[in-house]
Amino acid sequence: SQQGEEDPQALSIQEGENATMNCSYKTSINNLQWYRQNSGRGLVHLILIRSNEREKHSGRLRVTLDTSKKSSSLLITASRAADTASYFCATDANFGNEKLTFGTGTRLTIIP
Amino acid sequence: SQTIHQWPATLVQPVGSPLSLECTVEGTSNPNLYWYRQAAGRGLQLLFYSVGIGQISSEVPQNLSASRPQDRQFILSSKKLLLSDSGFYLCAWSSKADEQYFGPGTRLTVT
């Protein structure tokens, strides 16, 4: 099964509301990352949180990490139409290789 | 600044034909390079990665192959395409420091 699995698979909210997406993973990690993908485009790195961190902020993004539950959440506050995209979490393995394992993604739609 | 290029952007190929997708990176040296495939509405599947020239690691057995003839060039190939090879192919690089940076992707349709 997937190392990273996001839920929900799809989320639609009104512009201005907050959007929360969750990611669960199975093995120990060094860090967890979140990426955004607009339709038909490459992925864009949003934020990285290390295993010894519990919360991180970047602009309207807030990421939390709970290593005891092997889960992370991405909160987008005051959503905008431009936030419409798919969001993926990605985890590395905790033994120093350079591979990331991506989840299946959450498709976020912001309704104007 | 660093940039990553992929071409072609779209490709339609018949079953059994060969494939060559190219990825090049500018503005960095000795990057890690990656090839992913994304099926419609799905997550990314890592196909190959390379930590240096001539060093290729394959993640999924298949009829695809990868080569890294130069430090900043990564090529994905196939001798004979299958229908199941259709998908969105993404190249990425990293500086061995965690974040990966993705190219614009190639949409491959095998008919």
Per-residue pLDDT of chain B (111 residues; tens, 9 = 90+): 889 999 999 999 999 999 999 999 999 999 999 999 998 777 899 999 999 999 999 988 689 999 999 999 999 999 999 999 999 999 999 987 679 999 999 999 999
B82 close to B75: Cβ distance less than 8 angstroms: no
Work out the average pLDDT over A72-94.
93
Residue A92 pLDDT exceeds 90: no
Interchain CB distance below 8 Å, A31 and B46:
no
Closest by Cβ to A88, choosing from B43, B88, B94: B43
* pLDDT in the model for residue A96: 57
Q: Helices then strands (H, E): number in chain A?
A: 0, 11
CA-to-CA distance for A60 and A108, rounded, in angstroms? Answer: 15
Q: Is B103 on the interface with A (CB under 8 A)?
A: yes
CB atoms within 10 A of CB B90: 26
Residues of B in contact with A43 (CB under 8 A): 44, 90, 92, 100, 102
* pLDDT in the model for residue B40: 79
* pLDDT in the model for residue A94: 58
Q: Is A3 on the interface with B (CB under 8 A)?
A: no
Work out the average pLDDT over A40-51.
94
Interchain CB distance below 8 Å, B100 and A103:
no
* pLDDT in the model for residue A2: 40
* pLDDT in the model for residue A68: 95
Residue A100 pLDDT exceeds 80: yes
Residues of A in contact with B103 (CB under 8 A): 42
Instruction: Please list the alpha-helical segments (H only) found in A45-92.
Output: none
Interchain CB distance below 8 Å, A2 and B42:
no
Q: Is A44 on the interface with B (CB under 8 A)?
A: yes
Q: Is B96 on the interface with A (CB under 8 A)?
A: yes
CA-to-CA distance for A107 and A37, rounded, in angstroms? Answer: 9
